[in-house]
Chain A
Amino acid sequence: MPQYRYCYLLIVWLSIALCFSSTSTADDVYRVIVPANLSPGEISKNRLRAIFSMRLQHWPDGQKIRVFVLPSRSELHTHFSRDVLGFFPYQLKRIWNKNTFTGIGSIPVEVIDESAMLSAVAKTPGAIGYLSFTPEQEGSDVSVVY
């Protein structure tokens, strides 16, 4: 049946594309930070994904999670989303848009660069963010949790 020929072609193309669509996992170049006085419990990749997609909105002690991100088109955000969270930036953006326009859930606060990220996370209760470097640990206002 000629009309099914296109379906077969589509299935073959999708199968090939799925085989070649794996992503790299170079997690070690990213640092996830929270305020030094926060006890977030164990932070797994899966939990990070739920936190940054705003599906988990509270820390175990009931404190609201306040998520900070870099601009969607920044290189660090793109790589962090893909390599750590397993999301492509367009997926995260869609989830945040859904939260915004359904009123369910929250949206992250966007900061302009890593210096602003460090400062915002340090002074915001319940905050979480990410950097491409390890901040100085001694006397620091933030702690690295992933």
Chain B
Amino acid sequence: MLAWFIKPPFNTTTAALGAVNRVRRLILPLAALLISFPVSADSHWGGYISLGTADARDNSFYDLDGSNPGLLTEVVLNGRHSLDDRLQLSGQLMYRNKGKTQEEEVRLDYAFLDYTLASSSNSEYHSFLGRFKNSIGLQGSTLDVPFSRTASILPQSIYDEISRDLYVAADGIALQSTHLFANGELEFMATLGRLDMGKQLTANLIGDYEDNLDSKDFYNLGVEYSFAGQWLVGFDHVYADIEHSASAASTYQSGNIELERNYLFLRYSAESWELNLEYLYQDATIDNLLPNNLVGLSEFITGNSFLPPAPPLPTRNDTTSDSYYVQLRYFLNEQLTLMLGYDVIYANRDDKNGREHQQQYEQLSQLSDFVAELPVIGQDFGVNPSPAYSQYQKTATLGLSWQPNQDWMLMFEYHRVKGSAVMPARINKQLETERHQHSSLLVFQASYRF
């Protein structure tokens, strides 16, 4: 599912990359500095604890197989200190345990200096230095916050768990500005830096913890316009260049991923209901990074001239994907909110129903079986069929949340899923033949903020 794109308008220079590396070295000292400040009128401390359980049926979401409901835990502690009227220091620590799509970990979610460059009666300019959240759609910057997000598990077509490190936070520098107009506000944000990527991302995308993914270039541009308080429209663009170094035991070859994501979003807020719409167009260019078993099979066939010619293995794959969601929230009263959602992802917009993908893998699988059964020289490369439904995912969601006061929130959700495009690669390999076209997920989550 990696992909979307247009050529980058510029390449970061060596000097810029050097600056980003220096910023990275600042992040931990910034966090330590923040902790050292006493609580005062110029500082704020807070956080939340969220405990939940997810019962997955017939799918591998969160790596739960349905036999045992899994526990989902998030604990967050954040702080902010104003050093003076123009300079502010912010940081947040996060503990997450959400099944095996994200290993249990304590992570420095963000730590940055916020300096106000200029302000007037109708505009304001800020610069950020350190690790900060990216500008991604309606909910990307707060996708872990139960009190901000519109669902316990956000639409995976846009905010997929498996590649969250590719869009959530960056280390570097950013500029943000706000401009007032007669009927609304315009916000702009530009980021240059590197992605904060953990080992889990490698496991989710490549299937191996020992491989290494290195963020080379990254930038993020975002603009949104809020009209009269009720309408919000926006566009975000993300470019990431990621280098993959295969380990000795890897099942993939080394390669490169160039990723472009374009988000379009709209929100309309009425007194008793709200509509959220988001669309994501992704272009991924993947160089090499081919599965070893396919390469081995291809080489074996090429090396034995009596066999029919092997299907060509392209060393560069350019894939575009489409995804969107529509979500309607209805406020039954001040405490109860009903949510209906529908989201879709097509991993390859040129093969939306996945038939070509299935046919290709059927042929490769038959070839692999044929080669395995050859007398004397036979080798088993273990190429398995891959179903058409692995190329799309459509999810209908029904949710109910109850917020008895501003500190507590309970969320209950039911997801009905068709297809399996947004499942971790590691899980794909282990459970490829066990996955189902139709599956469901039941989630209950209780959150408390302090």
Residues of A within 8 A of B (CB): 10, 14, 17-18, 21, 23, 41-42, 46-47, 49-50, 55-60, 62-64, 72-73, 82, 85-88, 90-91, 93-94, 97-98, 100-104, 106-107, 126
Contact = CB atoms under 8 A, between A and B. Distances in A.
Interface of B is mostly: strand
Contacts of A60: 119-121
Given A85-B229, A103-B90, A58 B116 contact: yes
Nearest to A58: B119
Nearest to A71: B406
Contact of A103 (B91, B144, B275): B91
Given A17-B273, A102-B132, A104-B90, A97 B147 contact: yes
A63 B119 CA distance: 10
Contacts of B268: 18
B273 A86 contact: no
A14 B334 CA distance: 21
A57 B46 contact: no
A24 to B, nearest CB: 11
Given A101-B78, A104-B114, A62 B229 contact: no
B82 to A, nearest CB: 7
Contacts, number: 115
12 contacts: A23-B271, A42-B121, A49-B229, A55-B178, A57-B119, A60-B119, A62-B86, A64-B85, A98-B141, A101-B78, A104-B90, A104-B176
B406 A72 contact: yes
Contact of B142 (A21, A64, A97): A97
B369 to A, nearest CB: 39
Contact of A58 (B92, B124, B270, B406): B124
Given A47-B180, A85-B229, A63 B185 contact: no
B92 to A, nearest CB: 6
B194 to A, nearest CB: 19
Which size bracket describes the interface of B in this complex? Answer: 35 or more
A14 B275 CA distance: 9
Given A21-B271, A91-B269, A104 B132 contact: yes
B121 A102 contact: no
Q: Which 6 residue pairs spanning A and B have beta carbons closest together?
A: A103-B90, A86-B229, A58-B119, A21-B270, A64-B85, A97-B148
B142 A98 contact: yes
A98 B110 CA distance: 13
B257 interface: no
Contacts of B430: none
Contacts of B271: 21, 23, 82, 88
Nearest to B273: A17
Q: Which of B76, B141, B180 has the most CB of A within 10 A?
A: B180
A85 to B, nearest CB: 6
